[in-house]
Structure 1
Amino acid sequence: MSTVRTVLGDLRPEELGVCDAHDHLFLRSPQLPGLELDDVSAARAELAAFRAAGGGSVVQWTPYGMGRRTADLPGLSRATGVHLVCATGLHQAAHYAPESLDGLRGGLSELFVTELTEGIGTSGVRAGLIKVAGGFHALDAHARWTMTAAAEAHRATGAPIAVHLELGTGALDVLDLLCGELGVPGHRVVLGHLNRSPDPVVLREAAASGCWLAFDGPSRAHHATDWRMPEAVRALAEAGYGDRLLLGGDTVVAGARSVDGGPGMPYLLRRVRSRLTEAVGAGLVDRILMEHPGRAFAVDWK
């Protein structure tokens, strides 16, 4: 039976409820000094606000070495009633001190498999997905290394692979590597940040691979997120790809939390949901939030 691997154990897909398919409770990076998501009380309050808005589950994409605070996740899930999915994987090299990656050479896929099947460190929490990242319109050697390891871990476990697309670019290069060279089935790949570069031709070509297309995060000043996202989703639905879509909030810095004055996780349900409903109807939006995440992240675990 296919199940979604949460921090409290495996769930049937239909138990997720309304799902934020890409977000972060905790995150730390040298690229974001002083902006860390590292406050347990704030994370609890953010989850409670999401729950109050109708949310039921959050899929976290924070990978290895970026401050996941995995041991805190089960308690947060129990306290708020929100199901949490944790990630293994590796982000771009810029998010790590070079020496921290040296010990992973030759054993990256084994790390991913261990975190998916046995647990992360001493927390006992098992990851439910593998998160990797591409570059801006290209894949460097680090991206190819991490994606190759992710593909190996997928073959060993069945776990889905979620991909950070830098500024929404490089989707087809990622699919050429993961689904072409490395043989990962399209429906096991989730492409993130497509709202940041909503090229309609690229979106249709990516969807034709069978992968999942994630539109995540409210607009930043230099991104074409909110105002073009409904149009992009409608065009995909009209082209027959409405069943390949996911929505997420992608809160990456402390000031973006709703409890710290930002849009945060509730924004997905407070604003994005109604705006998208105007474009494609409540039925499809409900499926995107309540049905598609279960299909995207449920696995017949090996």
Structure 2
Amino acid sequence: MVSRVRTVLGDIRPAELGVCDAHDHLFLRSRQLPGQELDDVPAARAELAAFRAAGGAAVVQWTPYGLGRRATDLPELSRTTGVRLVCATGLHQAAHYETELLGSLRGRLAEVFVSELTEGIGTTGVRAGLIKVAGGFHALDGHARWTMTAAAEAHRATGAPIAVHLELGTGALDVLDLLCGELGVPGDRVILGHLNRFPDPVVQRQAAASGCWLAFDGPSRAHFATDWRMPEAVRALADAGFGDRLLLGGDTVVAGARSVDGGPGMPYLLRRVRSRLEEALGAELVDRVLTEHPGRAFAADWA
């Protein structure tokens, strides 16, 4: 069986993905972010067009079940902008959801994930291409264990990769102990997000040793050590032999962060971050991080 990346317009060969923002959001609605929703189709189209103009070719949207993915709009956005889009299933932290919605998923969460990966999201026909779950701050609560157990079951049924939100970049080793240890998910099927937010080189090397993917995503905020520490971190990982496990993303989560609304947005990844990392890693490796690596990380032998 040949591995394929599952986009909203169908499965493609990994090499067809092109320059990829490996972690971002076109749409996102959460009760944790009132009044800051990403819910504007024209703004999403403009953001994709700006990313395309900067040299981008693909975006992986990590917005999971129940948080306003707008899967119905994704195929047309992909067609009109020429940017390939990958959509997620999965479930975020419990705080993002109403209790009633979570209760309705008890006993059938893995089934929902599998259905969205193989049959499509609702009646849209859009199939998800990854499973997104989330850890907690330096720990895994019962909700995280429930969602990750369901994600592992869905992975075994479909081959889909599992992408993990690390809360403030923490808990990477606990996540790997659960997913790869207890639940038996191969390390190269796990993508850890937000590692740049907790720049511990020892943890990053230990995580990389599992074979997982290390995603450095999101431009600097005042309380995160992101851009200015990222070159040092990725260079250390490359020097330790883990340069082939790196991914880069923008992680735009609120409307004000879009480039079309005055923020850094998706183009920032290529406009600023890329050149800075080239000084640390060299242009050849950064090019592979943006093109070859996402194709490998998000491809699957779809069952």
TM-score range, shorter chain: over 0.9
Following superposition of structure 1 onto structure 2, how do residues 15-30 of structure 1 map, counting pairs within 5 Å? 15-30=16-31
Distance, in Å, in 1 between the alignment partners of 2:133 and 2:100 is 19
1:283 is paired with a residue whose SS is: helix
Distance in 1, Cα, partners of 2:286 & 2:180: 27
Quote the residue 1:98 is aligned against. Answer: 99
Letter in 2 for 1:240: G
Q: Structure 1 CA distance, aligned partners of 2:279 and 2:253? A: 28
Which residue of the partner structure matches residue 74 of structure 1? 75
Secondary structure, aligned partner of 2:105: coil
Query: Is 2:260 aligned against 1:259?
Result: yes
Secondary structure of 2:300's aligned partner: coil
Corresponding residue for 2:275?
A: 274
Q: How does 1:56-205 map to 2 (within 5 A)?
A: 56-205=57-206
Residue 129 of structure 2 aligns to which amino acid in structure 1? G
Measured against aligned partners, the alpha-carbon deviations of 1:70-102 in whole angstroms (never above 9, x if no partner) come to 000000000000000000000000000111111
The residue type paired with residue 51 of structure 1 is R
For 2:227, the equivalent position in structure 1 comes to 226
CA distance in 2, matches of 1:96, 1:219: 27
CA drift at 1:106 = 0.2
Unaligned runs of 5+ in 2: none
Q: Is residue 301 from structure 1 mapped to residue 302 from structure 2 by the alignment?
A: yes
Q: Partners in 1 of 2:114 and 2:242 — Cα distance?
A: 31
Rounded to whole Å, the distance in 2 between the matches of 1:94 and 1:266 is: 30
Return the offset for 1:296: 0.2
What residue identity is the alignment partner of 1:44? Answer: R
- Matching residue of 1:285: 286
3-state secondary structure, aligned to 2:126: coil
Cα distance in 2 for partners of 1:232, 1:284 equals 14
- Report the CA distance between 1:198 and its aligned residue: 1.1
3-state SS in 1 of match to 2:215: strand
- What is the deviation of 1:56? 0.3
Q: State the SS of the aligned residue for 2:65.
A: coil
- Per-residue deviation at 1:162? 0.0
Query: RMSD of aligned C-alpha atoms?
Result: 0.3
Give the partner amino acid of 1:99: E
In the TM superposition, residue 54 of structure 1 has moved relative to its aligned partner by 0.3
Q: Deviations over 1:145-169 (max 9, x none)?
A: 0000000000000000000000000
How many angstroms apart in 1 are the aligned matches of 2:223 and 2:244? 29
Task: Give 4+ residue runs of structure 1 displaced > 6 Å after superposition.
Answer: none
Structure 2 Cα separation of the partners of residues 230 and 27 of structure 1? 29
Q: Which amino acid aligns with 1:257?
A: R
Structure 1 residue ranges without an equivalent (≥5):
none
| TM-score (norm: length of structure 1) | 1.00
2: CA distance, partners of 1:155 / 1:168: 26
